[in-house]
Amino acid sequence: MKEVKEVLKEKVLRNVYTALEEGEIPSLSLPSRNRDNIVLDERFMVWKYGDNSVTRSAKTIDGAQYILKSLYVSEFIEEMLRNHKTSTLREMYYISEGWGPGKFNSQDESDMTAEDLEVITALLREDFGLRPEENGASVIGDVTFEERNRKGEFKKINCKDDVGDGGYTIPYSVESDKLRLKSSNASFILAMETGGMFDRLVENGFDERHNGILVHLKGQPARSTRRLLKRMNEELNLPVFVFTDGDPWSFRIFASVAYGAIKTAHISNYLAVPTAQYIGITASDILTYDLPTDKLSDRDIQALNSELKDPRFQTEFWKSEIETMLSINKKAEQQALAKYGLDYVTDKYLPDKLFSGGDLE
């Protein structure tokens, strides 16, 4: 805990204090957090922020307010660490109501400030004691964890034998001091976007029939979910496959798992699984399987065109699928496969994609 407080002091508090002491206008600098500033880190093979930076200076009212709010958040984090407390991001937003000029206008603003402090300090939100409001996603399959309980003791949990049909709920922090990965007899991990598809695969016994681990991403996956996928991939040597709807937003779900999300590019090496493979619904699937579809909305079209410029999607596969989707002007959900019956996805579609292509033997 002392290390976190010291880093905050060095990177944020002392910076501002020194500038004021020397009669200078304080400022804070951090990498520009947008698509144009993400570059491939060839060491980790993930997308991270590049060299472009932005500076928030107290020369402007907006800059001064940004620095002030960052100081309030830093002080709040220090107080939590000192008292061995944690806080949800939502709680921090409401606590700021008592900060006077440091009050946030929205939770998006307070969340972004916490993320900026991550970037500036090269620490994680979890190091600050900040956590999301909701519980994590679910895991079911033959993998054994040891989770630390409230008494500080580690309890063994097998995600096939010791959980119900809903699976094991991923905690907000999955680092080794809270969650140990002990063993797995599985051959692969299948991460999927929707709860309905997760339930379908569990009900059909897909994990047991094919010796896999199923992970429900709950839409755009939480950081803890992505971190656990990476740990299982690296520590248990399990390949990761991602099964999503066929639309631009689902493509971005895969991108966040495999390449790193633009919003959290500063910690992509902790979260992204560069070897993850996409086996979700594609534009080609819509045509091949004659799937029920919806027409692309204007927002969908805008998102697809944006992805054609996104450096994470500059492969022949992605360019071809995105251009095909724009051409046919259609999108489809995972559940569209139910056109051929409730068992089709587990008996035909997924086995074909996982096994027939040689991805798994």
Alpha helix positions (H), the chain: 2-8, 14-21, 61-82, 89-95, 107-121, 125-128, 195-203, 206-210, 223-235, 248-258, 268-271, 283-288, 298-309, 316-328, 344, 350-351
Residue 352 phi, psi (nearest 5) = -60, -45
- Position 46 confidence tier, pLDDT thresholds 50, 70, 90: confident
Query: What was the pLDDT predicted at 288?
Result: 96
Residue 166 belongs to some domain of the structure = yes
Task: Compute the half-sphere exposure of residue 244: CA atoms within 13 Å on the CB side of its CA.
Answer: 25
Regarding whether 91 and 45 lie in a shared domain, the answer is yes
Regarding whether 339 and 302 lie in a shared domain, the answer is yes
Residue 183 belongs to some domain of the structure = yes
Cα separation values, 86 from 31, 40, 76, 105, 172, Å: 27, 34, 10, 22, 11
Residue 342 belongs to some domain of the structure = yes
Q: Which of 108, 131, 154 is the last residue of a domain?
A: 131
Q: Convert the pLDDT of each residue in 148-189 to its tens digit.
A: 998 989 999 999 999 998 999 999 899 999 999 999 999 999
Q: Indicate whether 258 pLDDT > 60.
A: yes
**């099964």: which residue's tokens?**
243
Residues 17/105, Cβ–Cβ less than 8 Å: no
Regarding whether 308 and 213 lie in a shared domain, the answer is yes
Of the residues 94, 172, 270, 278, which is catalytic?
A: 94
- Position 236 confidence tier, pLDDT thresholds 50, 70, 90: very high
Side chain identity, residue 150: R
Regarding whether 198 and 314 lie in a shared domain, the answer is yes
Query: What was the pLDDT predicted at 279?
Result: 96
Q: Indicate whether 360 pLDDT > 90.
A: no
Query: What was the pLDDT predicted at 301?
Result: 98
Query: What was the pLDDT predicted at 35?
Result: 84
Residue 229 belongs to some domain of the structure = yes
Q: Mapping DSSP to helix (H, G, I), strand (E, B) and coil, where does residue 181 land?
A: strand
- Position 356 confidence tier, pLDDT thresholds 50, 70, 90: confident
Q: Convert the pLDDT of each residue in 54-109 to its tens digit.
A: 999 999 999 999 999 999 999 999 999 999 889 999 999 999 999 999 999 999 99
Please tell me which residue, 19 or 295, carries the higher pLDDT value: 295
Domain that holds residue 87: 2-131
The pLDDT of 43-57, averaged and rounded, is 88
The pLDDT of 7-23, averaged and rounded, is 89
Regarding whether 352 and 245 lie in a shared domain, the answer is yes
Regarding whether 202 and 106 lie in a shared domain, the answer is no
Q: Indicate whether 357 pLDDT > 70.
A: no
- Position 358 confidence tier, pLDDT thresholds 50, 70, 90: very low
The pLDDT of 31-43, averaged and rounded, is 86
In 69-98, which positions are buried (b, 16+ CB within 10 angstroms) versus exposed (e)?
A: bbbbbbebbbebbeeeeebebeebbebbee
Please tell me which residue, 254 or 45, carries the higher pLDDT value: 254
Q: Which of 90, 109, 131 is the last residue of a domain?
A: 131
- Position 272 confidence tier, pLDDT thresholds 50, 70, 90: very high
Side chain identity, residue 21: E
Regarding whether 319 and 276 lie in a shared domain, the answer is yes
Residue 309 belongs to some domain of the structure = yes
Q: Percent of the chain having pLDDT more than 90?
A: 76
Structure tokens at 308: 């054609």
Q: How far apart (Å, rounded) are the C-alpha atoms in residues 344 and 336?
A: 10
Regarding whether 170 and 273 lie in a shared domain, the answer is yes
Query: What was the pLDDT predicted at 359?
Result: 55
Query: What was the pLDDT predicted at 98?
Result: 92
**Sheet architecture: strand order including 240-243:** 168-169, 138-140, 212-216, 188-192, 240-243, 277-278
Query: What was the pLDDT predicted at 361?
Result: 47
User: Into how many domains does the chain fold?
Assistant: 2
CATH number for 59: 1.10.10.10
Regarding whether 225 and 82 lie in a shared domain, the answer is no
Regarding whether 125 and 231 lie in a shared domain, the answer is no
The pLDDT of 310-314, averaged and rounded, is 92
- Radius of gyration from C-alpha coordinates of the chain: 22
Residue 310 belongs to some domain of the structure = yes
Residues 190/201, Cβ–Cβ less than 8 Å: yes
Regarding whether 267 and 224 lie in a shared domain, the answer is yes
Of 327, 323, 331, 191, the residue nearest 247 (C-alpha): 331
Residues 54/32, Cβ–Cβ less than 8 Å: yes
Regarding whether 239 and 183 lie in a shared domain, the answer is yes
Q: Percent of the chain having pLDDT more than 70?
A: 98
- Looking at every residue in the chain, the average pLDDT score rounds to 92
Q: Which of 72, 104, 131 is the last residue of a domain?
A: 131
DSSP summary character for residue 153:
-
The pLDDT of 244-269, averaged and rounded, is 93
Please tell me which residue, 327 or 48, carries the higher pLDDT value: 327
Of 283, 263, 276, the residue nearest 332 (C-alpha): 283
CATH number for 238: 3.40.1360.10
Residue 361 belongs to some domain of the structure = no
- Position 125 confidence tier, pLDDT thresholds 50, 70, 90: confident
Beta-carbon contacts of residue 31 (< 8 Å; ≥ 6 apart): 37, 49, 50, 51, 52, 53, 54, 119, 266
For the question of residue 259 being annotated catalytic, the response is: no
Residue 236 belongs to some domain of the structure = yes
